[in-house]
Amino acid sequence: MFSVLTSCNLCPRNCNVNRFEGGTGYCRSDAEYTIASICIHHGEEPVIGGRHGICNIFFPHCNLQCIYCQNSQISRNNSDYPTAKTSLKAIVDKVIRLLGKGCESVGFVSPTHYIPHVHAIIDALHQKGHHPVIVYNTNGYDKVTLLQTLEEKINLYLPDFKYINAKTAWQYSGARNYPEAVKRSIKEMYRQKGNSLILSDTGLALNGLIIRHLVLPGMVNESKNILRWIAEELSPFVHISLMSQYNPPDGLRLPSHLLRKITKKEYDSIVKEMEILGFQNGWIQEPESAGFYNPDFAKDHPFSF
Ligand code: SF4
């Protein structure tokens, strides 16, 4: 599968660059195994990772460049964050060590620009007799054809649905075609998984689809339109994770309207819309969650505070 990197079209940017000859595409990622962090994370939704947490693999850079990204330390394509060139064996050995601490799930975070590597890591884990729950935790800027290659390997899809308006997607993430791409991607994930979310006896998510939506300040209508699209085009029975945790990250240049947290009035209005649309499954983060989730990747444990 690595041959696709000779003319990379892994995501809707369609850069057509040869990643074996350097990181010259939008995501500035070459063909090597490069990792920003592998760590245990206790996810925002209680079913992700369960009691022992999920072993998350963070790749550096991203095919979206959200101006407010809470992971900007590692996600900026011009970042000088010290990422390490590594090997498949080193990654798999570390993942297996963390699985040995009780983790039952392995998550790939913002994996779209590293899909061949994702395939190889999963295959290597299977070859070594490890079959954790595999979570594909994506910004949603994916391609249907690539998601189809993952159908037999991904247990749980965890996509964002960030924007439904092309102008917003351009202003905040530099991707005017994000809304059309994310709709196609989530429809494909829904085709693969449907409404179901299968849980273990201990409440660990084993298989299914959870759509995340982070509410941004001043964006009530955007959020409501996204929820309406999901209810009408997929189903009100799909699992939704509504997130209130937006907290303007330090050190980023943001427009003035993104320099605040969301208000209770904004959030309540969106929660009310979820009820009207008939959503029944998922999680609604507490409004006071803002600020609890900004990680520091310079630490051994980026999500500990
Ligand atoms: S994965 Fe990177 S190089 Fe490939 S098409 Fe997307 S942004 Fe371009």
**pLDDT in the model for residue 298:** 57
Nearest to 36 by CA among 62, 10, 64, 9: 62
Cβ count within 10 A of residue 127: 9
Where does the chain have alpha helices with state H? Answer: 72-75, 88-99, 115-127, 144-149, 166-173, 178-193, 220-229, 264-277
The answer to whether residue 286 scores a pLDDT higher than 90 is no
Q: What residues does 212 pair with on adjacent strands?
A: 160, 241
For residue 112, the ligand 1 atom closest to its alpha carbon is: 1
- Kindly indicate the confidence band of residue 42, based on its pLDDT and cuts at 50, 70 and 90: confident
- Kindly indicate the confidence band of residue 253, based on its pLDDT and cuts at 50, 70 and 90: confident
**pLDDT in the model for residue 273:** 97
Q: Which stretch of 48-62, 109-123, 164-178, 225-239 has the lowest confidence by average pLDDT?
A: 48-62
Nearest to 182 by CA among 194, 190, 172, 171: 190
For residue 5, the ligand 1 atom closest to its alpha carbon is: 4
Judge if the beta carbon of residue 11 lies within 6 A of ligand 1: yes
Q: Is 13 within a domain?
A: no
Taking a C-beta distance cutoff of 8 angstroms, is the pair 210, 255 a contact?
A: no
- Kindly indicate the confidence band of residue 305, based on its pLDDT and cuts at 50, 70 and 90: very low
Tell me the best of 2, 17, 21, 147 to mutate to test the pocket of ligand 1, counting ligand atoms within 8 Å of each CB and taking the most: 17
Distance of CA 9 from the midpoint of ligand 1 (Å): 6
> Hey, is 73 helix, strand or coil?
helix
Mean pLDDT, the chain, whole residue set:
92
For residue 14, the ligand 1 atom closest to its alpha carbon is: 5
**pLDDT in the model for residue 299:** 55
Cα atoms found within 13 Å of the Cα of residue 209, Cβ hemisphere only: 24
Judge if the beta carbon of residue 5 lies within 6 A of ligand 1: no
Tell me the best of 7, 16, 27 to mutate to test the pocket of ligand 1, counting ligand atoms within 8 Å of each CB and taking the most: 27
Domain count, the chain: 1
Judge if the beta carbon of residue 26 lies within 6 A of ligand 1: yes
**pLDDT in the model for residue 289:** 64
Q: Is 12 within a domain?
A: no
**pLDDT in the model for residue 128:** 98
**pLDDT in the model for residue 300:** 58
- Kindly indicate the confidence band of residue 153, based on its pLDDT and cuts at 50, 70 and 90: very high
Which residue's CA is the nearest one to ligand 1's atom 6?
A: 11
Cβ count within 10 A of residue 44: 17
In order, the DSSP letters of 186-228 are HHHHHHHHTT-EEE-TTS-EEEEEEEEEE--TT-HHHHHHHHH
Residue 42 has which token pair? 């206790």
Burial of 101 (0-12, 13-18, 19+ CB in 10 A): exposed
Domain CATH number, residue 270 = 3.20.20.70
Tokens 């297996």 sit on residue: 96
Distance of CA 7 from the midpoint of ligand 1 (Å): 9
The answer to whether residue 293 scores a pLDDT higher than 60 is no
Q: Is 14 within a domain?
A: no
Alpha-carbon distance values, 122 to 14, 128, 141 (Å):
25, 10, 21
Burial of 80 (0-12, 13-18, 19+ CB in 10 A): exposed
Q: Which stretch of 12-21, 58-67, 144-153, 248-257 has the lowest confidence by average pLDDT?
A: 248-257
The answer to whether residue 303 scores a pLDDT higher than 70 is no
Q: Is 297 within a domain?
A: no
Judge if the beta carbon of residue 15 lies within 6 A of ligand 1: yes
Q: What residues does 149 pair with on adjacent strands?
A: none
Supply the range of the domain harboring residue 48.
Answer: 32-289
The answer to whether residue 79 scores a pLDDT higher than 90 is no
The answer to whether residue 291 scores a pLDDT higher than 90 is no
Q: What angle separates helix 220-229 from helix 264-277, to the nearest 10 degrees?
A: 20
Cα atoms found within 13 Å of the Cα of residue 16, Cβ hemisphere only: 0
Q: Phi and psi at residue 149, in whole multiples of 5°?
A: -70, -20
Calculate the CA 215 to chain-centre distance: 15
**pLDDT in the model for residue 304:** 47
Which residue's CA is the nearest one to ligand 1's atom 3?
A: 25
Q: Is 221 within a domain?
A: yes
Judge if the beta carbon of residue 59 lies within 6 A of ligand 1: no
Tell me the best of 4, 13, 17, 173 to mutate to test the pocket of ligand 1, counting ligand atoms within 8 Å of each CB and taking the most: 13
**pLDDT in the model for residue 295:** 55
Which residue's CA is the nearest one to ligand 1's atom 4?
A: 8
Judge if the beta carbon of residue 285 lies within 6 A of ligand 1: no
The answer to whether residue 290 scores a pLDDT higher than 60 is no
Averaged pLDDT, 17-36: 95
Calculate the CA 37 to chain-centre distance: 15
Tell me the best of 9, 14, 15 to mutate to test the pocket of ligand 1, counting ligand atoms within 8 Å of each CB and taking the most: 15
Judge if the beta carbon of residue 9 lies within 6 A of ligand 1: yes
Q: Is 294 within a domain?
A: no
